[in-house]
Structure 1
Amino acid sequence: MPTRIRILIADDHPTIRKGLIATLEPEPDMEIVGAAPTRQAAIAMWQETRPDITLMDLALEGCDGGVDAIRQIRKESPTAKIIVFSAVTGDEDVFQALRYGAVTFLTKETPDEELVQTIRDVHAGGRPIPPEIARKLADRLTQSSLTTREVEVLSLVARGYRNKEVAAALSISEETVQGHMKHILSKLGVNDRTSAVVVAAQRGIIRLR
């Protein structure tokens, strides 16, 4: 009997976890070794089970938890095979997930048959990137990225802060905030603060709370 592909699921929605188990368990060459609802649980279960494949949602504990888990797992084991399976699909999300070591990225609209085949392909050493994910990655690589400070500024603007309040929160001058906003608008290709927030949120650069 061939060795089964041992799979760890990490997703914060019970319905998704149950659905993935129902889809994958019947496959004769697959075995679910754990289902984690949080970032910490995902890391702990990975350390305990050392799965062949990890299916990782990005929206663990505030959208960035999945990327953090990928980074920590890959730091511990550079050969760990992680497939992102997520509804969070901004081009920045795709870029960061692949940057920190995910093998490929699937949306939650992916048909069951494609998910199953992708798991087999990745286990065999392949790196199948869906066309829509390749386009998002290409978009991200051809666009100017915001600096860490610019992301901080825009995140506060998204929370309703005015320039004076942003300056106070970050201990910088209002003139510096204005300069950052000018660069942000230029990089995102928009003309106003509201559009900047919308575009940055859609791309996964900032999170709206």
Structure 2
Amino acid sequence: MKIVIADDHAIVRSGFSMILNYQQDMEVVGLAADGIEAYQLVAKHQPDVLLLDLSMPPGESGLVTTGKVKEDYPDVKILILTMHDDEEYLFHVLKNGASGYMLKNAPDDELLFAIRTVFNGGTYIQPQLATSLVRELMNPHAKSDEQDPFELLSKRELEILPLIAKGYGNKEIAAKLYISVKTVEAHKAKIMEKLNLKSRPELVEYALKKKLLNF
């Protein structure tokens, strides 16, 4: 199977690459430092599996990349390998099309098993993370079908929302838009309130659904 590895740490990319290339049934065909580069390598190599980190500052986040890859290359299996054990990230990457989610501190043999599982069409979630997923399925928080509050956003908020989703910090957004950091913070709070969003993963997912990342 052909594999692309995306992680912002060179030593992590090298370590995973050595482990996977040692396997008779695996070949690493590309190494990426952020989500944008990962997408480009997927387009070039059409890998079977994309091993993807979630947080790759200052580049595009893995959550954004997951949605883009699954939309344009649905046959590529995505295995998220991250330090985030936050269930918010778990739910959102699975909803965006990832086939697996596990922590970087997992043993090598578990990583290899997970890669083979998603390659063969299965889903792999690290056992200690699966409990929160089952709990969510057993007690779903149904969202209402109320009118989308998107139209309530101001022009400035529409400029700031995709920048937040892309991973830019308040200072970077302020510099890009020639406004103060306090103004950015105020607009960010209003955006979260108007859209009834509680976390950055929710905001990123919302921006993906609205196709705002190229806005």
TM-score, normalised with respect to structure 1:
0.67
Change (3 A) 1:172 1:136: closer
- Residue pairs, 1:26-37, within 5 angstroms: 26-37=22-33
- 2:43 pairs, out of 40, 47, 56, with 47
Of 97, 100, 103, the match for 1:101 = 97
Matches within 5 A, 1:1-209: 5-61=1-57, 65-139=61-135, 142=139, 169-170=186-187
Count the aligned residue pairs: 168
**8 Å contact kept, 2:35–2:59:** no
Moved more, 53-62 or 30-39: 53-62
Tell me whether 69-78 or 132-141 shows the greater mean CA deviation: 132-141
Query: Displacement, 1:62?
Result: 5.1
Which 5+ residue runs of structure 1 have no aligned equivalent?
A: 160-164, 189-199
Residue identity (%): 28
Distance 1:131 1:64, change over 3 A: farther
Higher mean Cα deviation, 47-56 or 133-142? 133-142
**Please, what is the CA RMSD of the aligned residues?**
3.7
For 1:51, the aligned partner's letter is P
Q: CA deviation at 1:23?
A: 1.0
For residues 188 and 67 of structure 2, the distance between their equivalents in structure 1, rounded to whole angstroms, comes to 30
| Closer, same or farther: CA 22–172 of 1 in aligned 2, 3 Å | closer
Summarize the Cα distance change of 1:144–1:34 in structure 2 as closer, same or farther, 3 Å threshold.
Answer: same
Where do 4+ consecutive residues of structure 1 move more than 4 Å? 139-149
Over 3 Å counting, the alpha-carbon distance change for 1:145 and 1:29 in structure 2 is same
Cα distance in 1 for residues equivalent to 2:90 and 2:112:
20
TM-score, with length taken from structure 2: 0.65
Q: Whole-Å Cα distance in 2 between the matches of residues 25 and 170 of structure 1?
A: 47
Give the letter for the 1:20 counterpart: F
